[in-house]
Structure 1
Amino acid sequence: MRSTTTSSARRWDGSPLRPHHRQRALRVAADSPSRLLRSAQSSRCRDCGNRIDWHTRTNHNPISLHPHEMPAAGIPATHCWHVSSGIAHPAHDGTPWCRVPHIALCPTRPASAPLTPQLAEIRRRLALRTRRLLDTGAFTPPPIQPTPSPHGSCRPARPVVQLLCCRYLAQRPVDDIRCVVQTRLRNRCTHPVLAPDVPTGIWTLVSTTPQYGQLALPASEMAVYSLNHLPYSEQQRWRAQRCPLHAAASQAADLAVAEWEPFDPLLHAAHICTRLPHTPTRTPRHR
Structure 2
Amino acid sequence: MCPTPTPAGRHWDGSPRTARRPRPLRVAGTSPSRLLRTGQSRLCRQCGNRIDLYQRTDQRPIALHPAELTAADVPESCRWHLSGGIAHPHGDGSNWCRIPHALLCPRRTPTCHIAPGLEAIRRQLAIRTRRMIDTGAFTPAPATSTQPATVTDADTGEPDRPVVQMLLCRYLAERPLNNLRCVAQTRHRHRCTYPVPAPTGPTGTWRLLSATAQHGQLALPDGLMVVYDLGRLPYSEQLRWRAQRCPAHAATSGAAELALAGWQPFDPLLHAAHIHTRLPHRPQARQQGRG
Task: State TM-score, norm by structure 1.
Answer: 0.77
1:83 matches 2:82: yes
SS in structure 1 of the partner of residue 196 of structure 2: coil
Alignment-derived partner of residue 166 in structure 1: 169
1:267–1:246 Cα change, 3 Å: same
User: How many residue pairs align between the two structures?
Assistant: 261
SS in structure 2 of the partner of residue 238 of structure 1: helix
1:262 matches 2:265: yes
SS in structure 2 of the partner of residue 203 of structure 1: strand
Alignment-derived partner of residue 289 in structure 2: none
1:41-60 matches, cutoff 5 A: 41-46=40-45, 48-60=47-59
1-structure distance, mates of 2:197, 2:98: 36
1:238 matches 2:241: yes
SS in structure 2 of the partner of residue 270 of structure 1: helix
Alignment-derived partner of residue 255 in structure 2: 252
1-structure distance, mates of 2:177, 2:46: 21
The answer on whether the counterparts of 2:204 and 2:230 sit within 8 Å (CA) in structure 1 is: yes
Letter of the structure 2 residue corresponding to residue 56 of structure 1 = Q
1-structure distance, mates of 2:193, 2:162: 21
Letter of the structure 2 residue corresponding to residue 260 of structure 1 = W
1-structure distance, mates of 2:272, 2:107: 20
Letter of the structure 2 residue corresponding to residue 43 of structure 1 = R
1:148 matches 2:147: no
1:61–1:214 Cα change, 3 Å: closer
2-structure distance, mates of 1:130, 1:41: 21
Q: Is the deviation greater in 141-150 or in 241-250?
A: 141-150
1:179 matches 2:178: no
Question: What displacement does 1:214 show?
Answer: 4.6
1-structure distance, mates of 2:163, 2:57: 23
SS in structure 1 of the partner of residue 183 of structure 2: coil
1:203-214 matches, cutoff 5 A: 203-211=206-214, 214=217
1:139–1:174 Cα change, 3 Å: farther
Deviations 1:94-152 (A, max 9, x none): 222110122333445544334444334434444554555565356674895861289x9
Letter of the structure 2 residue corresponding to residue 184 of structure 1 = R
Q: Is the deviation greater in 111-120 or in 171-180?
A: 111-120
1-structure distance, mates of 2:265, 2:56: 13
1:106–1:243 Cα change, 3 Å: farther
Question: What displacement does 1:241 show?
Answer: 0.5
1-structure distance, mates of 2:215, 2:32: 31
Q: Which residues of structure 2 form unaligned runs of 5+?
A: 1-19, 286-291
1-structure distance, mates of 2:218, 2:255: 43
Deviations 1:254-286 (A, max 9, x none): 111111111111222222122223468x9xxxx
Bigger radius of gyration among the two? 2
1-structure distance, mates of 2:131, 2:195: 34
The answer on whether the counterparts of 2:217 and 2:267 sit within 8 Å (CA) in structure 1 is: no
Alignment-derived partner of residue 63 in structure 1: 62
1:72–1:215 Cα change, 3 Å: same
1-structure distance, mates of 2:106, 2:206: 36
Kindly report the root-mean-square deviation, in angstroms, between the aligned alpha carbons of the 2 structures: 3.2
